[in-house]
Homo-oligomer: A and B are copies of this chain.
Amino acid sequence: MKILFHAFSILVLMIWPASGANAQEYRHNLMPTPAEVSFQPGKLAIRESFSVAVRGHDDRRLEAGIDRAVRRLEGRIGTELRRGVATDAPNPTLVIECREASLPVPSLNEDESYSLEVSVGRATLKAPTVIGALRGLETLLQLAESDRDGYYIPCVKIDDKPRFRWRGLLFDSSRHFQPLEVIKRNLDGMASVKLNVFHWHLTDDQGFRIESKKYPKLTGMGSDGLFYTQDQAREIIAYAAERGIRVVPEFDLPGHATSWVVGYPELASAPGPYQIERQPGVFDPTLDPTREEIYQFLDGFFGEMAALFPDEYMHIGGDENEGKQWDRNPQIQSFMKERGIKNNHSLQAYFTMRLERILQKYKKKTMGWEEILADDLPKDVVIHSWRGPDSLAEAVKKGFSGVLSAGYYIDLSYPASNHYRVDPVAADKNLSRQEEARIMGGEATMWSEYVSPETIDSRIWPRAAAIAERFWSPRSIVDVDDMYRRLAVTSVRLEELGLTHEKNYRSQLRRMAGGKEIGPLETLVSVVEPVKQYNRGQQRPTTMLSPLTGFVDAARPDSEAARNFASLVNGFLADAPRFQTNREEVERTLAKWRDARPAIEAITRRSGLREVEPLAAELSDLAQAGLDALACLVELKSTGPQWREGKLAILAQAAKPKPSAVEFAILPSVRQLVIAAIELPQLRGQPPLEWQKRVKTLAEVARTQ
């Protein structure tokens, strides 16, 4: 249970003689950043002769991992590379020294460390276990760069191990079922950024997704026929294990239970019949914890699942049980009275305890959402915090282990930087070293109310890679700009695994436009993002059966165009009162957005995209407001109340919730320009320093308005 903390200073920048002559800055594109990394001059060229030798332990998993890595390298350089390991070769390019096999089932206690040394003649990867070697191979693939002479690996020395040993992605297969190939390509993505827990959310109100041979009505009536057979689950488990990824299944109970009780209404706390839930939200159907038959049922079910899922942990959910069915059921009420169970929380604790004992019987440890926290649970129960870091602190102070998901809800459409800034160990909780050590790591959550196989990758990637860095890399790695620089490279590399986050939005736009001419829609979609939180449900209500083919589905979180524009605007304003830096680029960008309107409208009119049509006008007005503000600033012209009212009205209009459920990601930057135009000219006559002090407060003001 020892957690290793690293806060070494990392050599990110160094002098790198790229082609022998001109020295230039070398910035790596690794993600996650290794615990210790030090680049040296020189490079190891990747040529057709590239070969891999294994010294020490060798097995099928390692060789398969090597083969996958070499095939990916091959795809980049476009040249066939030798197949198989060449252990007898006199001069292999890459030598892998591995001490021992990893367990067939990846475990929490796996040693994932490795070291990598690349010199001009050779790369040497050393790892105590096969999974450590797989982690090192991913680093090696990330190191591969190219210049005019072709691909190479820069000389480097890396000593690496994860900061946290639980680095997960929650994948919700209930709200929207996802086919096997979607899961597989995402497992590949996870492995490439060193995530190691696939938390598979298999049951919820909207669908029961795993075959039970013992209770066939679970999927027979609760899944619309969309579920994983046990063979398919085994296929996923094996695929994950090949990549050193654990599969932790979640069976959400006692709430979120509609799909359980469609086929087995007798499990519920109120009489049925029930139907699969089609809406997003929190619903009443809840298991009845007072009847013994329930525990017989669960014993049968979890016994079956324990045999299917080899991981030592099982997640039992436990979240968002509002207990409405319990309150209304006289039998449950009298049960509580008899036993002195004071409230629903205690009744749920009773249920959790009973369930935990069943899992124990099947040699499984229990994990659950923070609501299951109760003093008398065994200490090896893992508390999964989702509402905030407080429950995590409380859990570890009480001696439980914990995993953090609060702050890592990628389904809420926040930018990567928001998640990146959240540390699993909150600074303000006064945790002892021992308590800190009980924080095992974190999980990004891909709840699937609003994702289809076509869009899910773009909701996970590339942002999950930034979170993966948070879980793996030293706490000291916090430079957001550098994260984004590396994330852009990582995003393209993730594509080679078949992930569709960079490519699908354009075919979505083509479908909307009914043709290939989508340039104007691309301009529009680049400056918007899906609305944050679960506001989409209010602005553009859909059920689980609705098509996810709207403009909001083509829009992607964390707009790159908006981020670039924000950086331009910040540079422009920081140059107060001169206002020349970036001026032309800001102008050009705004003019492009202003002028896009007719071309966008030509498409939206032809295609009946009524929810998109008003966005063109709003974008145009917004851009014009920005241009007006810019002109005032450049001329240091005071703006009157009428100017101010006009611009604020445009900003307010653009900020309104829209039936398209997108928002203008560029709005804060335009607001910044407008407020600057209103406020800054008042400083006329004051020294530049005063202007710049005021400018610094503007970004914050604009963002929080």
Contacts and interface: CB of A to CB of B under 8 A. Distances in A.
A542 B74 CA distance: 13
Interface in A40-73: 71
B78 A549 contact: yes
Interface string A532-543: 000000000011
A437 B171 CA distance: 56
A225 to B, nearest CB: 11
A489 B515 contact: yes
B489 A510 contact: no
Contacts of A89: none
Given A78-B550, A80-B545, A147-B608, A495 B507 contact: yes
Contacts of A489: 514-515
A75 B495 CA distance: 24
Nearest to A545: B80
Nearest to A496: B511
Contact of A149 (B181, B511, B546, B608): B608
Copy number in this complex? 2
Among the interface residues A181, A549, A605, which one has the most CB atoms of the partner chain B within 10 A? Answer: A549
Contacts of A506: 503, 506
Given A80-B547, A546-B79, A549-B78, A146 B507 contact: no
Given A146-B514, A515-B488, A80 B503 contact: no
Given A146-B607, A147-B608, A503-B504, A76 B546 contact: no
Interface in A517-555: 542-543, 545-547, 549-550
Interface string A8-50: 0000000000000000000000000000000000000000000
A495 B608 CA distance: 20
A150 B146 CA distance: 48
B515 A150 contact: no
A502 B516 CA distance: 9
Nearest to A553: B78
Contacts of A504: 503
A148 interface: yes
Interface string A599-639: 00000011110110000000000000000000000000000
A516 B542 contact: no
Interface string A477-493: 00000000000110110
A151 interface: yes
Nearest to A551: B78
Contact of A492 (B491, B515, B611): B515
A693 interface: no
A324 interface: no
23 contacts: A74-B547, A75-B511, A76-B549, A78-B512, A78-B549, A78-B550, A80-B542, A145-B514, A146-B607, A146-B608, A147-B608, A148-B606, A148-B608, A150-B608, A181-B181, A488-B515, A489-B514, A491-B516, A492-B510, A492-B511, A495-B507, A502-B510, A502-B516
